[in-house]
Every structure is written in C-alpha cells, then in structure tokens.
Amino acid sequence: MIGHPTARAARAAGRADTPPLCPAKSTHGLWHRVRRHVLAALVAIGFFTLWESAIWIGGYPQFILPSPRAVAVRFSQAVADGILWRHTCVTLFEVTLGLAMGLSSALVIGYFLAKSRTLEEAVSPYIVALQAVPIVALAPLVLIWFGNGLLSKVIICALVTFFPTLVATINGVRSVEPDLRDLMRSLEATPWQTFRYLELPGSLPIIFGGLKVSATLSVIGAVVGEFIAADAGLGYLVNAARGVYDTPLLFVALVTLAAIALALYGLVTLLERHLLAWRAAARYL
C-alpha cells in the first residue's frame, strides 16, 4: 500500500540517496528556455523582414501598409501625447469588470450545472443558443437596453467570457473520480469540505484552460462594445484612426490590444502555476 509506513520509509530513503538537484536536468531546463527565447526572436525577425519586404516589393503607401518604423514613431507620439494611455486605461477597466462578472457567474452556474444533470438539461440549450448568436449582432441590442455607457461594454465583455469558463467548470467538476467522492462520503465530509479538499483542487486544471480562453476573449468583447458606441477606448481609437486613414495609429492600437491579451493570458498562467504547484510536487512523491 502507498500509505504504509514501510513504503514511506523506503521512499524517504530513496529521496535521501538522491541529490536534491540533478545538474543534467538543470542544464537541460536552461537550454530549453534559451532555445525557446532564441526561436521567438528568430520568428519576430522573420516577421518584420517579411513585413518590410512586402512594402518594398508592393510599393504600398503608408496609409495602406505602414512600415514597422512608421508604426514605432506613431507609437512614441501616441505615448507622448497621452492618447494611448488614456484609451488603454478605459479598455482595461472594461475588461477587468467584464472578466469579473463573466468568470464569477460562469464558475457559480457551472458548478451547480455540474452537480445536477436535470438542471443542466433544462438550462444548457438556452445557454448554447445564446452563445451561438454572434456577439457583434447581440451588441446593438445590449446597447439599446443598457445605454451607451460603461455597463453595456462590461455586459458584452462578460457574455464573451462566460461560455468557455462555464464549459470548463462543468467538465472540471465532473472529472473528479467517483472513488474519491465515495472516500469523502465514507469520511463523513461536509459538502463544503468535499468542495474545498476534493472538487476545487481536482477541477482547477481544467478550469484554468477555460480561464485562459476567456481572458483573451475579454479583449474582443470590450472592443466590440467600443466599436458600436463609445467615445473612448482602444476600439474607439481604431475607429477614429480608420476614419482619417491614420493606419500607423491603427496598428498601434492593434498591437496594444494584443499586448493586453498576452498580459492577461500570462497572469492566468502565473496564477495556475501558483495554485497548481502541488501537482508538480506530487510527481516526486
């Protein structure tokens, strides 16, 4: 048996005989990180080379396809003027509130749907139907109901982020092994204890997959709302730049949106590593 004292002593002795850090594995991990960064740099260099080559071969004017240098200069101007920072703060505020609303509701509803097959069969068709409607078509209706202010942008963002986390929560809670549930019942665990010590840690690996998708989609939801009706935000900046054919500024807004999405994805990944550190430690037990 795994929990037998003799087995634990044998494992402890084995770990005592093993050095705490293997130089070969450490070197391999360092080489892997260096190789990953080098490949990323090569991809970036290749992308900018193709970009410049396309401009040189096609002879495109700046309002059609600006050069990377023109975009960099326009980025510096937007930062110096304060325009980029002001619009970025507006979009970030909408994304933060939309994520909070969408993820919290998806986690709660997803948990109860996972616990009740009857409730899921009754509610899931309507949730899927709502998800099937393109958010671009749904956004004008949301703006009519809730106005052109902040609330409508937050609701649109929440609708975009809701479904991936909902599905991940349902699948995560149901992925917990029935034998472990039987064990918790045999120990007379309360529903809260079962949730805290079994269902939550057991479902987190799958839930984080949905959170990563929702974090990146949240930027799309905020921008869609700003496209329809807004006087600030990166979506508004894209519309304004398009209207005056300021294509370098449009590229600046797009790059900033991509950076926000990457930052949100990275934050979720860091949170996942922190909360699921026990999984990495369990491999060595």
Give dist(CA 70, CA 254) in Å, integer: 14
- Among candidates 251, 226, 224, which has minimal Cα distance to 236? 226
> At which residue do the structure tokens 């109901």 appear?
145
Mean pLDDT of 223-234: 85
Summarize pLDDT for 15-62 with one digit per residue, the tens: 444 444 455 555 666 676 777 777 878 888 888 888 888 888 877 788
> At which residue do the structure tokens 């409607």 appear?
133
**Share above pLDDT 70 across residues of the chain, in percent, rounded to a whole number:** 87
Summarize pLDDT for 149-207 with one digit per residue, the tens: 889 889 999 999 999 999 999 999 988 888 888 888 888 888 888 888 888 888 899 99
Per-residue pLDDT at 176? 86
Summarize pLDDT for 150-164 with one digit per residue, the tens: 898 899 999 999 999
Domain spans, the chain: 1-59, 66-282
What fold, for 66-282? MetI-like fold (1.10.3720)
Per-residue pLDDT at 127? 84
Query: What's the pTM value of the predicted model, to 2 decimals?
Result: 0.78
Q: Is the separation of the CB atoms in 41 and 49 below 8 Å?
A: no
Q: What sections of 133-246 are H helices per DSSP?
A: 135-146, 150-174, 178-186, 191-194, 200-228, 234-243
Summarize pLDDT for 56-106 with one digit per residue, the tens: 887 778 888 888 888 899 999 989 988 999 999 999 999 999 999 999 999
159 alpha-carbon distance from chain centroid: 15
Give dist(CA 141, CA 160) in Å, integer: 15
